[in-house]
Structure 1
């Protein structure tokens, strides 16, 4: 009995560990990576390019991976933050990849949400990319009558922030761990500047095109690299508080190249160190982004002007009013005075 072709599949070479794509009758094709998720993305791209229809396709003639590959290769390079699209596609492909577009229904979206097992906000962002990819393929004539992707409700903004004593406890948990000194540096920068994790991990002590840098002579934080375009997550320049500036100058004198580094090398992830520190401090409800909430909350509690807060942290006035305004000492003060006044 003749054997059935196995179809396109991934195979990991034993000698190099690099994944290759095997497709009966077409020869092997290297993915160029040892990372399983990157290899799966490469396989999805291969399938989309191999089977892409020549004319407009109906939802049952086109796979979701084809839609995502078209969007990722044609649209993503033209946006200001292509990494956001890339991360979403990497998350979407394992579940949706080989399914036809016609399989996108409320039920399968629900199955994806369960299988993904991530925060509602994360699921909403990923499905938002899928929705945008379908719309793009329809607009460009690749796809006709795409289904609608119903996004989950936008979650309420988190109001978790750390008190001074809580922050000190978490900072001490990081500092006393010999393998997490870099996390203590990250925490200090985050608490004093409210910068996002990705910004802090890319900070250097000299101008560059990859990420931001700190000017310790003038005391200015540059959150973006030279020539980098601004995105929706604004990254404005800001003065560095004197307490943090003293630390930064000391680190620079000691030969540091990156603000957060291990043995002279940039730190790409703080996931493990963060988990260790939060476990030691007995905090199971805080994330690195909590430090941004903390910095903004402290600024509001100390009476900073709303316009200055928005400018310093790269925050919209709408977000400040919705999430942080109640922390300000002037919150509804005029109404309170009016209600307490004698008639």
Structure 2
């Protein structure tokens, strides 16, 4: 009775007079095959084996949803698409969460009840579940478009949560910048600069952290201090739904950036070695904690609940609206659609519904005059 194949595995192949080399042993069509990894390092050989296994089970052509596991779909999306987006880490977090539940299921098992079981499994907010399941839908669409999958199943999303209008007052922003001084020296500078750039320009976190100073790049944005222009996107980067349009640099921010350049900085946010900072998550969390504690201790009544780095973009647009910026200029400057400006921020503007209010006031004035009132 033939033995069941053991599956792909590593073997240290020793040959007389030669260096020991790891090979991959596998079975194909009932026959044993041996593939050299070309390395004597176990760690490198394991990496090659993992890639071999991933490629082995990857479909060579379009297959029905019942013949491909979702784990393979997520792996394809992670390897082929995620590295080319503006914030691959964000996709990575979603893929890790998805794989724990969906990895061993076939794409044909994506149905409404399964999606609802995933929501119960994750036990997170509807907003988080929608983002993660949206990533699953994007991975399915990608594999269908690239010829791995015959048609993309439809992912059932939970109801969209009502948008939270969280933005900082100027006092909150000032306190947040002030408590940064309690962070370690390196983290203090990084976070302060990130907050300043974000409040002045409303640039999204990934794009703000990527900005260099007077250094045009194909892979990241930069600030031209001579012309006073912010290029949020590198010359070789592709445009995405997360718009990163060119904007004028406000004079106050430009003064900061020129000072940072005089201090020897090449990047807006850099560490003590002069390299670009990729993340401010830990420093941000600590600063929010310190700001909330200071507010509570001094009874300032400030609430930093739900304040994230993205809140700075909301704050920048809200402040601009409160100061009377037009919808068209705000949409262009902040890389946001006019529809979003109207639905989310326009009510902060003194010009919002001004013609109606003026008409009502005029009518009331005429009525008072008709009654002989002053």
- TM-aligned CA deviation for residue 256 of structure 1: 0.6
Corresponding residue for residue 300 of structure 2: none
1:104 aligned to 2:110?
Answer: yes
Corresponding residue for residue 99 of structure 2: 93
For the Cα contact (< 8 Å) 2:70–2:107, is it kept in 1?
yes
For the Cα contact (< 8 Å) 1:47–1:65, is it kept in 2?
no
Corresponding residue for residue 269 of structure 2: 260
User: What is the rounded CA distance, in whole Å, between the counterparts of 2:104 and 2:357 in structure 1?
Assistant: 60
Q: What TM-score do the two structures reach when normalised by structure 2?
A: 0.74
Deviation per residue, 1:254-310 (Å, 9 max, x gap)? 101110111112111111000100000112320000000000000000001111111
1:187 to 195, 213, 216: 195
1:247 to 256, 264, 274: 256
Change (3 A) 1:209 1:302: same
1:130 aligned to 2:136?
Answer: yes
Deviates more, 1:134-143 or 1:76-85: 76-85
1:311 aligned to 2:311?
Answer: no
Query: How many residues align structurally?
Result: 323
User: What is the rounded CA distance, in whole Å, between the counterparts of 2:242 and 2:171 in structure 1?
Assistant: 29
Corresponding residue for residue 160 of structure 1: 166
User: What is the rounded CA distance, in whole Å, between the counterparts of 2:262 and 2:190 in structure 1?
Assistant: 16
User: What is the rounded CA distance, in whole Å, between the counterparts of 1:28 and 1:153 in structure 2?
Assistant: 51
Q: What TM-score do the two structures reach when normalised by structure 1?
A: 0.80
- TM-aligned CA deviation for residue 339 of structure 1: 2.9
- TM-aligned CA deviation for residue 46 of structure 1: 5.5
Corresponding residue for residue 348 of structure 2: 327
Corresponding residue for residue 12 of structure 1: none
Corresponding residue for residue 13 of structure 2: none
Corresponding residue for residue 221 of structure 2: 212
Deviates more, 1:212-221 or 1:251-260: 212-221
User: What is the rounded CA distance, in whole Å, between the counterparts of 2:25 and 2:91 in structure 1?
Assistant: 25
User: What is the rounded CA distance, in whole Å, between the counterparts of 2:7 and 2:354 in structure 1?
Assistant: 69
Change (3 A) 1:71 1:167: closer
Change (3 A) 1:248 1:111: same
2:291 to 281, 284, 294: 281
Change (3 A) 1:307 1:281: same
For the Cα contact (< 8 Å) 2:219–2:236, is it kept in 1?
no
User: What is the rounded CA distance, in whole Å, between the counterparts of 2:63 and 2:90 in structure 1?
Assistant: 23
1:169 aligned to 2:168?
Answer: no
Change (3 A) 1:119 1:255: farther
User: What is the rounded CA distance, in whole Å, between the counterparts of 1:265 and 1:81 in structure 2?
Assistant: 18
For the Cα contact (< 8 Å) 1:101–1:147, is it kept in 2?
yes
Change (3 A) 1:132 1:221: closer
User: What is the rounded CA distance, in whole Å, between the counterparts of 1:312 and 1:78 in structure 2?
Assistant: 27
- TM-aligned CA deviation for residue 154 of structure 1: 2.8
Deviates more, 1:279-288 or 1:145-154: 145-154
Cα RMSD (Å):
3.6
- TM-aligned CA deviation for residue 160 of structure 1: 0.7
Q: Which has the larger radius of gyration?
A: 2
1:60 aligned to 2:56?
Answer: no
- Secondary structure of the 1:299 match is helix
